[in-house]
Structure formats: C-alpha cells, structure tokens
A and B are shown apart, each in its own frame.
Chain A
C-alpha cells in the first residue's frame, strides 16, 4: 500500500523532471543518432530513432524544447508560407488537422529535413538534428486537437492569436 502510494507520488514528480529539464546542447553522439529515422518506402510514416525514446520524447513534452521550436519557426522563415499556422497561398495550413503526409512526428521531421514536392524546402543543411526535432515538435503541437502538458506561451509581440498554452486544456495522448 505504502509502496503504491510512493509510486503514485513519484510518477508525476518524475514527469515533472522531464517536463522542465533544459538540455541546452545534446551530446554529439546523441545528436548524431537523432537522425536515424526508419521510414517507409513511400516517405510517410515510420519510426523515430531509439535515442528519441531513450531521451523521453522531449520534443513534445518539454516546454523548453517546444519554445525553441517556436523561435526556430520564426527565425527560419516558416511564417512566409505557413503564416502563424493558418497557411497562405504558398503553403498549407498547419492548424486545420489535415496533414498532407500524415500527423506522425517522424514524418513532420522528414518533411522539414528533406523538404517535400510543391515548394517545401529542405532544412537539412541549415539546422542541426536536435533543432529539426524541436521545430517538428512545435509544428505538430500547433496542429494538435488537444493541449499538451507543456506548451510555449505568447511572444512579446502584437497579439494576433491566443497563445499556445491557451489551447484546449483537455489532456490527451501526446501523439495524435
């Protein structure tokens, strides 16, 4: 009984640890291994590298990683085509729940890394592996139907839409 109680206490606490850690620069072998996505021949769907699970899926559950993804989204010109997620004439929306290549995080990672036909450029040579994952995590959470345990807040910019952490407060499985 007491052990169960301790376990029940420990689980959210450990969750808390993962949620708030700030890995400013991953070890080089870890960063290299993050690129090892196994992908189906059609280029959609697959399996993230083992190391992604070993790290505890930080790119969807860690507020710091998500907010880094948000900064990269602004810095690397994503709003040029995708706007603040609502899409433009040049690029599809990210908020509408329709994913041209499926909603999986590894697929979004591949789309950003390798680009897609129809104008999506490849960012392979512009971002490091962990930055690509940060960006993919942010993009996936932009289009998620339910809020996660971790989210970035509003920017210090003129408000154009509710901040990410004002999204639906219902907690749902992290992978849509």
Chain B
C-alpha cells in the first residue's frame, strides 16, 4: 500500500493544501446543505438556538406587559396560556438544551484535538431535525395552534378530554424532535471524548469543559427515554384512545408527572453542567492558573450527574406522597447542594490571591457566582416540604428557577460566547459594548426577578393571565415589567455586539486570551480539518506547559479524511480511522423523518406509510460509494 500519500515529512503549505482538498466542503448552497463539519453545524446550532432565545424573550416581554397592571388587556386568557407554554417550551427545549449541546459540538472536537466529531453525518441530521422541530412549534403557534398546556403538559389537562384539537400533540411531537436531536449529539460527544482524544490526553488531562459535556451526554442518554415514553403514551392516549393516563380505565395521572420529572429534573442539570464547564474554563484562563481541585471538580460533576436522577419527586411534593418519600427526596434535593457547594469553593479558591483579568467573560462568571448562589439558596428553601407546600405554584418558584437557569446557565453561556467568539469568527467582540450589555443584563435580571420572590411570598400564583386591582401585587409587577425593558435592552446590545463584531471586530489571532487548552492551538476560525497535525498532549494545560511548539503525531493519510483513535483511559494511539465525507442524505433523511412525525399527529397510519421513505433515505445514506473513506 505504498500508493497512499502520508503527511510525514511534508512542509506546512503543502500539507494544508492536501488537507484542504479532502476536508473542505463543496462551495455554494449544496455545500451548505451537505457539510458534516462539526464547526459549521455547531455555529448553525448556536445561531438557531439564539434565535429561539430571542423569540422566547419576546414572549416573556409580552407576558410582562400583560402583567404590568391589574386587569391587563393586551392578552386574553387563551393567548396567555399559549404564550407561557411557548416561552417555557422554547427556552427549555429549543434554546437551553440545544445551545449547550451546540457549544459542545463546536468545541469538544477542538478541545480534544481531533479533526471532526464522531458520526458527523448524524450530527448534521441532528441539526436539521432540531430546526424542523422548532419550526413545527413556532409555525403552529403563529397559526393559533400553539400548545397551551404548560411546558410540562400535565395530564389530564393535556389529555384527550381537556385538551381538544391538536395543540397538545404539537407539544408532544416537538419533544420527539428535540429528543432525537439531543440523543444524537449526546452519542457523538461520548464517542468523540472516549475514542478521539489526542494521543496522551488521558482522562485526568481532559479539560473540565470536556468532562462537563461527557457527563451531560450521559445524563441526556439516561434522562431522555423517560420523556420519550411519556410523550409517546400521551400521543397514543390522544390519537388512538389508549388509557395510559386515564384513572377510570386503570391508568394513572401521576404516572405522567413521575415520567416527566424523571426527565425534567436531570434536564436542569443537562443545562447546568455544561455551564459549570464553561465557568471553570473561563475562570482558569482569566486567573492564569489551573482550576483549584481538578479531581474534586470532576468528581463533583459526576456526582451531580448521578444525583440528578434521585430528586425528581421534589417537583411533586404537593401531590400527596408518603412521609418517607417526602423526607427522602428532601434529603436528596439538599444533598445536591454538597457537590454544587464544592464547586463554588473550588472556584473561590482559584480566585483567591489571583489577580483576574476583568474582561467581559470574567464579568459574566462573577455574575454567575452571585446569581447562582442566590438561586441555590432558594432551591434549598423549596426543597423542604413544609415551605414548598406554601410556595408551590407561586411566583417564588418562578423567581427561583429563573435565578438558577439564567444565573446558572445563561450568564456562563454569554460569557462563553464572548470567550470563544474569537475562535468562532476570528474576531474579538467589542469590550465596551460587552460591558454595557453585561451591566444591563445582570442589573436588569436582578431587578426583574428579585421582586418575584416577594410577590410569591405575598401569594401571587404562577400562570395567571391577570389579577384584580384589590390585590397588593400591582406595584412590584409594574416595577418588574419596567425592569424587563432594561434586561431586553441588554440582550439587544449583546446581539448587536455579536453581529457587528463578526464583521468589523478586531482580528483575534489564534490565542487572544493566552488560554491553556487545545482549541487555541489552531487558527481562528479553525480550518475544516481543525489541526494540520494531530497534537500530542502531556499535561492538563498543554499550551501553558509546552510553550513554543506542541508535539504532534504524523503518518496520517492525505487521500481521505483521517483521524487518530486512542484508548479510553490513557489515550494511547490505537488506530487511524476515516471520517465520513459530506452528504446530502442527512438533510433528506431529516425531511422525511419530520414528515412522518408531523403527519403522525393527525393519523396513526403515518407511522406505517411515513416510515417507508425514512428507511429508503437511511439506506441511501449508508450505501457504500467506493470512496477511500469506505475502506475499513
């Protein structure tokens, strides 16, 4: 096999030309639909998720406008129901989970020093399915068919008797789309992390963000089946008259809540754990020292991932549980504060005595620390049954989970966007605009949501579309609504900053922050093959510990897309393997899958007839085409 060209001994320019000829996407629109480059798909995923963030934010503003005064007239009860459902569903299923996975799709292969994500075509398929699922939900909403049953869709209110029409089915099927997309990405990330790490990057040299994405992916793989089961049973109840949730026929209403929260609580950690990884990464770079207690941090991540499955019942304290159950789930809910607290102290210890560089990403990390600790405190409060019984379904809970989700995930995410923007676009985001946006977002957020704690303590229930002037809530609601304008302005500035910086920002160079991890070892933005030569890693902070040139592996073929497989624990090189070429079939398969899923809202026969094109598309997707990548 001497005919195969290898990269041994080639100089830089010749090597890059050879790599470009096998790794580059086709030019033009066709290339846009066929690319399997994890960076292109990751960017797309992130942009789409932020579009959904903006849409969900508009809905939040509409609700704040409606609630600004008693007896508001902007929205009627039916529209309000749709809007709070859409807000929750969009933010949880179309923004928070996908955006975290998207950042993982973009960064994990770069951070572990490989050339593409594992199963890159599945990755493309995942994006299209996610996009079509989001479009399904939003087009339905614009047609006045938006789900109106809450983002949790409790039966019996979402069941056949009380939710006529197709609104609840739209919700349940949108979940199916996001399940498919999320499971696909989770599998890719697990395989990428386990088998494609750069030689020498043993498990204890993996960046914390990669650890976080690994744990998250396992949580996705374990949590999603519960909601697959629940939403499928709901669709069957509604469409073909099964009786899963009908107590009169031996079904069980609470079964829904158990299945949903067995997914729904880990979902919170699916959103939060990547944020932990982002915070650790940013903190370490801007303090210019490795994170304090690396092993403790990893163990805390893993134990949060495990504990996440042991506390779903705390969402159901008011449904009437045995005392022992209440005590157990109170204890397990409080137990999660232990690994979370451990992480907080590790971060504080990293900050201790360091002189952190106060750039915008670091500011978001500080905002995160402050806000997330507050949200965690109220979390411990509502974990205790007597208090939860009082506060259940009140605005206190609304305040609590916005503190945890925005403070715990959105702030780190905004910091991460500022931090990795130079890698994504090759340009820096404006520091001045970034500081203004940070001030408005952080200040506006606290002004909007802090009063909601008090409103909840004063008895204001969640999900009400209006309230009477006699009730004492008008003042704080007006204050909260006015502050929402500040928060919205902050997000507008952020979007403007990203838009403008992508075009006119200062050029960044490969490593503008002086960061330690591998993604900064390549150009910004990285070429389609990520690394001209696969790096060899000898420490947890390779770019700090090996200044100058990284060691690299050579001997890879240049006539096909090739990367290095390594062993799971020690990352010893095991084999060279091919990485699939671009293909249109993931896109087409996503279209026929979407047709089947949407059709099945209306007729059970869609599952039979609709699966034929799906099978055909999959056969063509996997059909061997005699390319060098097909060789085993």
Are B143 and A156 closer than 8 Å at their CB atoms?
no
**Residue B72 is within 8 A (CB to CB) of chain A in the complex:** no
* Interface stretch of the complex, out of A14-22, A38-46, A107-115: A14-22
Complexed CA–CA distance, A19 and B166 (Å):
9
Contact of B160 among A24, A62, A64, A154 (CB under 8 A): A154
* Residues of chain B with a CB closer than 8 A to A166's CB: 240-241
Complexed CA–CA distance, A162 and B242 (Å):
11
Are A154 and B241 closer than 8 Å at their CB atoms?
yes
Closest 7 CB pairs of A and B: A153-B160, A67-B164, A63-B165, A63-B164, A20-B145, A22-B78, A16-B143
**Residue B167 is within 8 A (CB to CB) of chain A in the complex:** yes
* Residues of chain A with a CB closer than 8 A to B164's CB: 63-64, 66-67, 150, 152-153
* Residues of chain B with a CB closer than 8 A to A163's CB: 160, 241
**Residue A122 is within 8 A (CB to CB) of chain B in the complex:** no
Q: List 27 A-B contacts (CB under 8 A).
A: A16-B143, A16-B145, A17-B144, A19-B145, A20-B145, A20-B165, A22-B78, A22-B148, A24-B77, A24-B78, A63-B164, A63-B165, A66-B164, A67-B161, A67-B164, A152-B160, A153-B161, A153-B238, A154-B160, A156-B161, A156-B246, A156-B247, A159-B241, A162-B241, A163-B241, A165-B241, A166-B241
B27-43 contact mask (Cβ, 8 Å, vs A): 1 or 0: 00000000000000000
**Residue A158 is within 8 A (CB to CB) of chain B in the complex:** yes
Are A156 and B165 closer than 8 Å at their CB atoms?
no
A93-106 contact mask (Cβ, 8 Å, vs B): 1 or 0: 00000000000000
Complexed CA–CA distance, A131 and B608 (Å):
39
* Least CB separation from A64: chain B residue: B164
Complexed CA–CA distance, A95 and B215 (Å):
58
* Residues of chain B with a CB closer than 8 A to A13's CB: 143
* Least CB separation from A66: chain B residue: B164
Are B248 and A20 closer than 8 Å at their CB atoms?
no
Contact of B249 among A19, A67, A158, A169 (CB under 8 A): A158
**Residue B628 is within 8 A (CB to CB) of chain A in the complex:** no
* Least CB separation from B148: chain A residue: A22
Distance between B356 CB and nearest chain A CB, rounded to angstroms: 53
* Residues of chain B with a CB closer than 8 A to A152's CB: 160, 164
Most chain-A Cβ atoms within 10 A of its Cβ — which of B76, B165, B167, B247?
B165
Contact of B248 among A66, A158, A165 (CB under 8 A): A158
A1-37 contact mask (Cβ, 8 Å, vs B): 1 or 0: 0000000000001001101111010000000000000
* Residues of chain B with a CB closer than 8 A to A154's CB: 160-161, 241, 246
B3-21 contact mask (Cβ, 8 Å, vs A): 1 or 0: 0000000000000000000
Are B166 and A63 closer than 8 Å at their CB atoms?
yes
Q: Interface size bucket, B side?
A: 20 to 34
Complexed CA–CA distance, A66 and B241 (Å):
17
**Residue B340 is within 8 A (CB to CB) of chain A in the complex:** no
Complexed CA–CA distance, A66 and B248 (Å):
22
Q: Name the prevailing secondary structure of the B interface residues.
A: loop
Are A20 and B166 closer than 8 Å at their CB atoms?
yes
Most chain-B Cβ atoms within 10 A of its Cβ — which of A17, A155, A169?
A155
List CB contacts (< 8 Å) of B545-560 with chain A. none
A161-176 contact mask (Cβ, 8 Å, vs B): 1 or 0: 0110110010000000
Complexed CA–CA distance, A40 and B318 (Å):
58
Distance between A162 CB and nearest chain B CB, rounded to angstroms: 7
* Least CB separation from A19: chain B residue: B165
* Residues of chain B with a CB closer than 8 A to A20's CB: 143-145, 165-167
* Residues of chain A with a CB closer than 8 A to B76's CB: 24
**Residue B243 is within 8 A (CB to CB) of chain A in the complex:** yes
Which residues of B are in contact with A by a Cβ distance under 8 Å? 76-78, 143-145, 148, 156, 159-161, 164-167, 238-241, 243, 245-249, 603
Distance between A30 CB and nearest chain B CB, rounded to angstroms: 15
Are A159 and B243 closer than 8 Å at their CB atoms?
yes
Distance between B268 CB and nearest chain A CB, rounded to angstroms: 30
Complexed CA–CA distance, A24 and B241 (Å):
26
* Residues of chain B with a CB closer than 8 A to A162's CB: 241
* Residues of chain B with a CB closer than 8 A to A17's CB: 143-145
Are B603 and A156 closer than 8 Å at their CB atoms?
no
List CB contacts (< 8 Å) of A123-176 with chain B. 150, 152-159, 162-163, 165-166, 169
Complexed CA–CA distance, A159 and B77 (Å):
32
List CB contacts (< 8 Å) of A36-81 with chain B. 62-64, 66-67
* Residues of chain B with a CB closer than 8 A to A155's CB: 160-161
* Residues of chain A with a CB closer than 8 A to B239's CB: 165
* Least CB separation from B139: chain A residue: A13
* Least CB separation from B246: chain A residue: A156
* Residues of chain A with a CB closer than 8 A to B241's CB: 153-154, 159, 162-163, 165-166
* Residues of chain B with a CB closer than 8 A to A169's CB: 603
* Residues of chain B with a CB closer than 8 A to A21's CB: 144
Complexed CA–CA distance, A16 and B143 (Å):
7
* Least CB separation from A15: chain B residue: B143
Are B248 and A156 closer than 8 Å at their CB atoms?
yes
Complexed CA–CA distance, A10 and B451 (Å):
44
Complexed CA–CA distance, A67 and B157 (Å):
13
* Least CB separation from A14: chain B residue: B143
* Residues of chain A with a CB closer than 8 A to B145's CB: 16-17, 19-20
Complexed CA–CA distance, A17 and B77 (Å):
17
Complexed CA–CA distance, A62 and B164 (Å):
9
* Residues of chain A with a CB closer than 8 A to B144's CB: 16-17, 20-21
Complexed CA–CA distance, A154 and B238 (Å):
8
* Residues of chain B with a CB closer than 8 A to A67's CB: 161, 164
* Least CB separation from A67: chain B residue: B164
* Least CB separation from B253: chain A residue: A156
Distance between A161 CB and nearest chain B CB, rounded to angstroms: 10
Distance between A9 CB and nearest chain B CB, rounded to angstroms: 11
9 additional A-B pairs beyond A64-B164, A159-B243, beta carbons within 8 Å, are A20-B143, A20-B145, A62-B165, A63-B166, A67-B164, A154-B246, A155-B160, A156-B160, A165-B239
Complexed CA–CA distance, A45 and B165 (Å):
30
* Residues of chain B with a CB closer than 8 A to A159's CB: 241, 243, 249
Complexed CA–CA distance, A110 and B441 (Å):
60
* Least CB separation from A13: chain B residue: B143
Complexed CA–CA distance, A112 and B80 (Å):
34
